[in-house]
Amino acid sequence: MGSIKDWVIDMFWQTKHFFSELWYKIRHGIPYGFSQLFYYGPTVWNDPSFDYSGLLYLMRRKLKQLEVVIRDGYHVDCEKDADRIKIVLDALDRLIADDYLFEEEKKVNEKWGESTMSSKPTENPTLRELVFERSGIKTEEDEEQCRKEMKIVFKKAGEKEKEDYRFVFDTLRDHLKEWWD
């Protein structure tokens, strides 16, 4: 059984430790918290909560910050890791832009003309049918050939998008725990 003196000394050190931790949180934690709030605030504020893109924006913001810290860091492979993060950021930018179809469709547009969209009435007065037209399509055969080419374009665009998703998440799975300084 300890003496009152031991208890008082123990309470003194616990109290000192408590106030030391509290002062550290006030002195460092609050300013750091505000800096993080200002850094992530616009991303969170503009987060479209109804779809997946908000997660991509948030990941991009975090990785952008991490790339700078790693590039200026002290660990052995900081340049290599920062370059890898930069490549992931490039893939995230492509995923966010979601322009995979644009590049692939250029060839079809050159051959068949730009696609225009209009609508026409249907039997149901509350519905309209979407109609896509291209100036280079003159016959039924042309339309069928263009349709086949567009299927290929959609397939290629989808494959490129899947490839970027796979790259981003495989890289995170394989290297995320290495990215610290």
DSSP string, the chain: ---HHHHHHHHHHHHHHHHHHHHHIIIIIHHHHHHHHHHHHHHHHT--TTSTHHHHHHHHHHHHHHHHHHHTS-STTHHHHHHHHHHHHHHHHHHHHT-HHHHHHHHHHHHH--EEEEEEE-SSTT-EEEEEEETT--SHHHHHHHHHHHHHHHHHHHHHHHHHHHHHHHHHHHHGGG---
Tell me the backbone φ, ψ of residue 43, rounded to 5 degrees.
-65, -45
Q: Are 85 and 158 in contact (CB under 8 A)?
A: no
At residue 103, the pLDDT reads 82
At residue 156, the pLDDT reads 95
At residue 1, the pLDDT reads 55
Domain locations in the chain as residue ranges: 1-46, 52-178
Mean pLDDT by 10 residues, the chain (181 residues): 81 87 84 88 84 91 94 87 97 95 88 90 91 90 93 95 98 93 69
Residue among 64, 96, 70, 83 at smallest CA distance from 165: 96
